[in-house]
Structure 1
Amino acid sequence: MNADYDVIVVGAGSMGMAAGYYLTRQGAKTLLIDAFDPPHTNGSHHGDTRIIRHAYGEGREYVPLALRAQTLWNELQQEVDETIFKKTGVLGFGPEGSAFIDEAIASSKQYSLPLELLDAGEVNKRWPGIKLPEGYKGCFEPESGVLYSENCIRAYRQLATKNNATILTNTPAKDIEIYEDSVSITTEQDTYTAKKLIISAGAWNEKVLSNLGLDIPLQPTRQTTTWFDSDPSLYESDVFPAFFVDMPSGVYYGFPSFDGCGLKIGRHDIGQKTEPAYVNREYGIYPEDENYGREFLERYMPEAAGKLKRGIACIYTRTPDEHFIVDLYPQHSHVTIAAGFSGHGFKFASVIGEILSQLALDGNTEHDISIFSITRQDLQHTGKTLRQ
């Protein structure tokens, strides 16, 4: 078969759009197909901002990827006029004995990352908007900060297009056929062929992969984020960091106020099991969604618990062990899969895009991605309990 393209990317969101850019930078003739028009509000990348941390509580295996991701984000910043990254620093805190905080500290020591260890009194003094009780501890990473997620995708799209990528938006892939040494993708308008395929369809991955005979436990969950009116002298981005919090009652994350938008807060450890088509993004949030953030703020950041300014719903797509899937299709080495980023993947989109381009074009990558193997045993284990 004479292929139309070197590589087709199905799903041009966070990982797919980055992959498209890195493919074109290597001279590959690339087609990106997306059911929507990225950046958009139908997946996992909207809501303005994402945290990037280097000292990683989810496991030390992620640290080299986080550092490479940061390098690539910094390079992207030099290529476009969009604001990609702001170094706000990232504060983590929780009670003594928090495994997540302890792992972040351990990863910083192993990789000699700058990380300041603080007791509750030191946190409260340094950031008067925080009120931690005795018995809590914090760790502050000064070189980390915030990514502007939609700007990141917009920038990769701009550069991929500049490099002659073809991008089909509002174009769902109706059928995918995998042959011995090529693939074909059928949409409502046409059929396209390529030598290689990358599947990065986000919350739709389980359906796409199931249709190809590959059953992977991927669970989309409805997640919400809220912004609250807050005292700018305490919580504006020039004086307050991004943060993550691990405590017995829940795992939270948040952002300072940027240009008066309000303090942003979300909860990571719960979510309603859903299908992506059923997430009501127009309505946004329900009263209980507001309460998750408000109750946290009233206890730990009371001056940030003002009037609700905004709330949105988006999607996590979780694996049972909450590690990613980045690997070649076991029976088809010309098909690469990126899935299950479990609510902590966006910060890695730059390096995952680089990895996907290497896997697609060369069949391997310079990065250690063994933890993301599609055949790993832990992929079959039951993960955290989710709110029904």
Structure 2
Amino acid sequence: MNYDVIVIGAGSMGMAAGYYLSKSGKKTLLLDSFNPPHNKGSHHGDTRIIRYAYGEGKEYVPFILKARELWYDLEKASGKQLFTQTGVLNVGNADSNFIQNIISSAKKYDLPLDVMDANKVQNRWANISLPNDFIGCFEPTSGVLKSEEIIKAYQALAEQNGATILTNSRVRDIYIQEDKVTIKTDEQTLHSDALVVSAGAWSGELISMLGLELPLTPVRKTFAWFDANEATYNHSRFPAFAFDTPKGIYYGFPSIDGSGLKVGRHDGGNPIHPDESPIGFGELAEDEGNLAQFMNQYIPDIWQLKYGKTCMYTHTPDDKFIIDLHPKHANVAIAAGFSGHGFKFSSAVGQALSNLIISGKNDVDISQFSIGRFKKSLFSKPTK
């Protein structure tokens, strides 16, 4: 079977790319080793924060604003509510890079932001306890995306556009010959004019088949839900949040539909090969302890663990994304290394991948995510 484009990895970025490619009229095939949405990647766990005054750097803001526009478009096209405007409270020392980036990016792009000292934060949310040298930056227009529902929505729309999705189909080899792509799975051989690789923690293995060795490191991550007083912590009263603390960077969500308060640690994590048997939540002593010490200090109510889960981040050395064309093959686009903060961008990433395949360029500047910044890692072996 011949296709215009094959997308390997039908998760956060790949499913979005499949939608935009099929919407443009491309005969599109999406391949995934599992059956999205699933618990093997970085998208599961129901929810993801979206914030616009960006603590990781103001250079991300144009891209996240494009993503916001596309999320609204997806809600309209799918007829589903995929975003909940809870507001996002960002907390940290007033001098931290994270907080200063939030403030400076809000000023540069005229984003709504309420900057409060520790007392004002505690007066507004009495159940939060902060050191005196901490401040809060509240983004009222930010909130929560329904990650797994988004993947389902993109899949349904892509299929309506004529896209084909093959699940439980692991890619075993990729061959590039001039302007043609050949992909072998366990079951069949597939052909296309162009290729998108967006396979999360498995991206490094697949990219190596294309003659590139990129510095991608999958790590095991944990998050958990805790019983919470619904009158205090429901999503109409309590915000999503990110705390930059001396003992780690933590994020969390209010209780949505009675789910309980969800909390995770963003930094840290143990390197893992994605094919390893996963270590379940609670099998490592620090799983619950990391979260408990954060809550005991900053949200010191009485907590009871409901359940926890694990997922994987895939880090680059600078924690910036990779979104680019292959240096030697203009018909191959790559998206990888989203380093635990990529989902909120996935609508814009999917559109960018489609644009790169169709025209070789994107309407929002993505040069900061180029493969070329890892020149020492490129071309460790010849492309097949």
Alpha-carbon RMSD across the aligned residues, in angstroms, is: 1.4
Letter in 2 for 1:173: V
User: What CA deviation, in whole Å up to 9, does each residue of 1:63-94 have, x standing for no partner?
Assistant: 01111101111111112243310000000011
Aligned to 2:323: 326
Q: Which residue of 2 aligns with 1:210?
A: 208
Q: 1:279 to 1:315 in 2, by over 3 A?
A: farther
Please name the residue that 1:356 is paired with.
Answer: 353
Residue-by-residue CA offset, 1:268-313 (whole Å, 9 max, x unaligned): 110101111225266665332111111111111112x511001000
**Structure 2 runs not aligned, ≥5 long:** 378-384
Residue in 2 aligned with 1:383? none
Partner of 1:191: 189
Match of 2:296 among 298, 319, 328: 298
Paired with 2:64 and 2:11, the residues of 1 have a C-alpha distance of 19
The letter of the residue matching 2:319 is E
| Matches of 1:282 and 1:12, distance apart in 2 | 24
What does residue 284 of structure 2 align with?
286
> What SS does the aligned partner of 1:277 have?
coil
**Partner residue of 1:375?**
372
Paired residue for 1:62? 60
Per the alignment, residue 137 of structure 1 pairs with 135
* CA distance in structure 2 between the partners assigned to 1:265 and 1:158 by the alignment: 30
User: Residue 350 of structure 1: CA displacement?
Assistant: 0.2
Cα deviation, residue 186, structure 1: 1.1
Cα distance between partner residues in 2 of 1:128 and 1:147? 26
147-156 vs 82-91, greater mean Cα deviation: 82-91
Moved more, 333-342 or 185-194: 185-194
Give structure 1 regions of 4+ aligned residues with deviation exceeding 3 angstroms. Answer: 281-287, 377-380
Q: Distance in 2 between matches of 1:254 and 1:140?
A: 14
Give the Å deviation of 1:201: 1.0
SS of the residue corresponding to residue 9 of structure 1 reads: strand
- Does the C-alpha gap of structure 1 residues 379 and 143 become closer, same or farther in structure 2, counting only changes over 3 Å? farther
Moved more, 216-225 or 205-214: 205-214
CA distance in 2, matches of 1:125, 1:377: 47
Amino acid of the structure 2 residue aligned with 1:85: F
Q: Is the 8 A contact 2:281 2:308 kept in 1?
A: no
For 1:319-368, what per-residue CA distance to the aligned partner results, in whole angstroms no more than 9, with x for missing partners?
00000000000011111000000000000000000000000111111110
Deviations 1:27-75 (A, max 9, x none): 1100000000000001100001000010001111110111110111111
**Aligned with 1:175: secondary structure?**
strand
* Distance apart, 1:377 and its partner CA: 5.1
> Which residue of structure 1 lines up, in the alignment, with residue 104 of structure 2?
106
TM-score, length of structure 1 as denominator length: 0.94
Could you give the per-residue CA deviations for residues 202-260 of structure 1, whole angstroms, max 9, x where no partner exists?
10011111122101000000000011111222211110000001122111111001122
- Paired residue for 1:257? 255
Cα deviation digits, residues 87-106 of structure 1 (max 9, x gap): 00000011221110110110
CA distance in structure 1 between the aligned counterparts of 2:27 and 2:195, rounded to whole angstroms = 12
Q: Is the 8 A contact 2:91 2:136 kept in 1?
A: yes
Given the alignment, which residue of 231, 234, 241 partners 2:232? 234
In the alignment, residue 306 of structure 1 is paired with which amino acid? W
Supply the distance in 2 between the matched residues of 1:148 and 1:130 (Cα, whole angstroms).
25
Separation (CA, whole Å) in 2 of partners of 1:136 and 1:188: 54
Mapped partners of 2:131, 2:369: distance in 1: 38
Whether contact under 8 Å (2:314, 2:337) holds in the other structure is yes
Query: Sequence identity of aligned pairs in percent?
Result: 53
What SS does the corresponding residue of 1:193 show, helix, strand or coil?
strand
Which residue of structure 1 lines up, in the alignment, with residue 305 of structure 2? Answer: 308
Cα distance in 2 for partners of 1:239, 1:307 equals 20
- The answer to whether the 8 Å contact 1:196/1:360 transfers is yes
Q: Distance in 2 between matches of 1:379 and 1:371?
A: 17
Which of 324, 338, 343 is the equivalent residue of 1:341? 338
Query: Is 1:73–1:350's contact at 8 Å kept on the other side of the alignment?
Result: yes
3-state DSSP of counterpart to 2:221: strand
Q: 2:81 maps to what in 1?
A: 83
Please state whether the residue corresponding to 1:302 is helix, strand or coil.
Answer: coil
- Aligned residue for 1:152, secondary structure, equals helix
- Counterparts of 1:16-55 in structure 2, within 5 Å, are 16-55=14-53
Residue-pair matches, total? 377
